């Protein structure tokens, strides 16, 4: 185990949280602009104008795009050639999230589920959420930070269908969820869909789906085709930005898949609002940090 | 779709001129309220220490910092209104609130109160806190400070908007109208995706 200064991980955890809240990824900005060009409904165009003004102010003033600073989620990919200490990574991500909240400072939203006491730290038992994965032939520690607001997270849904229900049931579940959730997840955002796996894995897949850059399709052509098909269907609903009517109801449908049990056909939906916030830090063994999205 | 530039307080005449789909900007006073503010008012029977009559109320839990006696804004954004629907008819009927601002809309009971007492629901663009914060000139007062960040806030705003009249005082609810349009399209969408019901 080489001696990496884990202060670097703590700083990156703090910095990515703040960056994610203030600086929207370029792919999301481009997708919003493309959507605006297609939109003809005057109310919807007014919504887009407010969105663009918001992004402009956040850029200029280095301020929060949305007041809901969310619950912190870190998706960590550890390269096979990166010298790492798992406990240190977990510990420093937690401290970094707390420091971002208290030093910026912004509203902490983490709360005890029964007493509802809010420590104003954004962390607490079980938080931040950290997902780990391991990558071959990489010397990098890749940290993707997602501040997940409740407007969209509250609209999450999952269902354990059976094989007999077929693919049609999955498609219907997506359409019906978008119909029911309407204006609440602050559309037009990203509809993240998980298909396959177990009950816990399927929701994790849906979460991974919302952080894929807008415009990227799934590597499997069959899945990519389903993404396109659902995207087109949702954008023919005329629900529009903020549910006030219009052509654009979603920027993208992203699907992630995993093998499942022969008797199972699970699906999960995790929606992401138009401020589809994420920020990335890549840390190298020499202590170098590269920030991105 | 008309655009209105208004000044608070709002009279009944002004409110009756607003129709679903119109766009509103306004200057003047804006009160901030949230779940806990209204639980405190309506479930625990505390009278507001300031008159809300003729005024707009926004669903918010602002990030503020107190420097000496003065509250400074950090970030003021809007939350989902549906959670607070049950308080809205009384907010309008008992306290004379003329506009409720939020995202997601309210239900039938609130719409009826709006028709009866001349009030509207104005939909803001959710997630656009940076813009809202800019349009708040000053945090003039924080009442019931112990409830912060869900206290009762008095803001002074300039060109606050764009806000879409989503529920008007004539019984129209834009959210419901749009939902109905989508509902009618569902069979066609199902058919195209090979879904049989």
Give the E-state strand segments of A126-264 in sequence order: 129-135, 141-148, 157-161, 189-196, 250-258
Residues in chain B, pLDDT under 50: none
Nearest to A64 among B75, B125, B190 (CB): B75
B66 touches chain A (CB under 8 A): no
Q: How far is A175 from chain B (nearest CA, A)?
A: 8
N-to-C CA span, chain A: 28
Q: How far is B189 from chain A (nearest CA, A)?
A: 6
A266 within 8 A of A229, measured Cβ to Cβ? no
Distance, in Å, from the CA atom of A254 to the CA atom of A216, rounded to the nearest integer, reads: 9
Three-class SS state of B108: helix
> How many CB pairs below 8 A link A and B?
165
- Pairing relationship of beta strands B23-33 and B3-7 according to DSSP bridges: parallel
Which residue of chain A is at minimal alpha-carbon distance from B65? Answer: A105
Nearest to A244 among B128, B149, B166 (CB): B166
Q: What is the pLDDT of residue A3?
A: 63
Q: What is the pLDDT of residue A64?
A: 96
B77 touches chain A (CB under 8 A): yes
B190 touches chain A (CB under 8 A): yes
Q: Alpha carbon of B54 to those of A156, A277, B38, B91, B169: distances in Å? A: 38, 37, 18, 11, 14
Q: What is the pLDDT of residue A1?
A: 45
Which residue of chain A is at minimal alpha-carbon distance from B78? Answer: A67
Token pair of A171 as six digits: 């498609």
Distance, in Å, from the CA atom of A159 to the CA atom of A167, rounded to the nearest integer, reads: 13
Q: What is the pLDDT of residues B157-193, one digit of tens each?
A: 999 999 999 999 999 999 999 999 999 999 999 999 9
Name the pTM for this structure. 0.95
Interface of A with B in 176-235 (CB under 8 A): 179, 182-184, 186, 229-230, 233
Token pair of B176 as six digits: 């419901």
Q: What is the pLDDT of residue B1?
A: 84
Q: With contacts defined as CB-CB under 8 Å, which chain B residues touch A57?
A: 130-131, 133-134
Residues in chain A, pLDDT under 70: 1-3
Q: How far is A203 from chain B (nearest CA, A)?
A: 23
A251 touches chain B (CB under 8 A): no
A191 within 8 A of A31, measured Cβ to Cβ? no
Distance, in Å, from the CA atom of B178 to the CA atom of A281, rounded to the nearest integer, reads: 41
Chain-chain contact of A65 with B133 (C-beta, under 8 angstroms):
no
Mean pLDDT across chain A: 96
Three-class SS state of A245: coil
Token pair of A195 as six digits: 């298909």
Q: What's phi and psi for B4, nearest 5 deg?
A: -115, 135
A29 within 8 A of A55, measured Cβ to Cβ? yes
């Amino acid at each position: 185990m080489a001696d990496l200064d884990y202060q670097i991980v703590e700083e990156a955890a703090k910095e990515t949280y703040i960056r994610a809240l203030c600086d929207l990824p370029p792919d999301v900005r481009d997708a919003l602009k493309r959507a605006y060009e297609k939109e003809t409904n005057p109310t919807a165009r007014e919504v887009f104008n407010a969105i663009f003004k918001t992004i402009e102010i956040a850029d200029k003033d280095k301020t929060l795009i949305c007041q809901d600073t969310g619950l912190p989620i870190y998706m960590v990919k550890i390269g096979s050639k990166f010298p790492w200490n798992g406990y240190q990574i977990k510990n420093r991500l937690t401290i970094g999230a707390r420091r971002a909240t208290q030093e910026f400072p912004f509203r902490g939203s983490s709360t005890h589920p029964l007493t509802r006491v809010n420590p104003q730290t954004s962390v607490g038992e079980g938080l931040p959420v950290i997902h780990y994965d391991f990558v071959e032939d990489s010397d990098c520690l890749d940290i993707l930070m997602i501040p997940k607001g409740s407007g969209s997270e509250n609209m999450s849904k999952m269902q354990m269908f059976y094989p007999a229900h077929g693919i049609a049931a999955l498609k219907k579940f997506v359409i019906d969820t978008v119909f029911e959730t309407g204006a609440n997840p602050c559309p037009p955002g990203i509809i993240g869909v998980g298909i396959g796996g177990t009950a816990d894995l399927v929701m994790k897949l849906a979460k991974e789906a919302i952080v894929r850059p807008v415009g990227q399709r799934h590597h499997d052509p069959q899945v990519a085709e389903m993404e396109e098909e659902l995207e087109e269907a949702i954008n023919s609903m005329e629900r529009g930005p903020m549910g006030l009517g219009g052509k654009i109801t979603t920027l993208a449908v992203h699907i992630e898949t995993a093998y499942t049990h022969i008797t199972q056909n699970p699906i999960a939906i995790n929606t992401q609002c138009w401020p589809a916030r994420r920020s990335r830090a890549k840390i190298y063994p020499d202590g170098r940090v590269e920030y991105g999205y | 779709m008309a655009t209105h530039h208004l000044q608070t307080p709002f009279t009944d005449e002004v409110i009756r001129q607003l129709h679903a789909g119109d766009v509103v900007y306004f200057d003047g006073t804006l009160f901030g309220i949230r779940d806990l503010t209204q639980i405190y008012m309506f479930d625990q029977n505390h009278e507001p220490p300031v008159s809300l009559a003729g005024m707009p109320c926004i669903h918010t839990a602002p990030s503020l910092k107190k420097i000496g006696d003065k509250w400074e804004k950090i970030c003021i954004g809007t939350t989902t209104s549906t959670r607070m629907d049950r308080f809205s008819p009384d907010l309008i009927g008992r306290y004379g609130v003329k506009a409720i601002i939020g995202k997601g809309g309210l239900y039938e009971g609130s719409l009826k109160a709006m028709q009866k007492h001349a009030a509207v629901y104005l939909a803001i663009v959710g997630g656009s806190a940076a813009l809202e914060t800019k349009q708040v000139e000053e945090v003039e007062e924080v009442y019931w400070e112990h409830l912060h960040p869900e206290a009762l806030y008095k803001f002074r705003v300039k060109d606050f908007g764009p806000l879409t009249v989503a529920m008007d005082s004539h019984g129209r609810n834009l959210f419901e109208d749009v939902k109905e349009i989508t509902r009618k399209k569902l069979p066609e969408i199902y058919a195209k995706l090979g879904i049989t019901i």
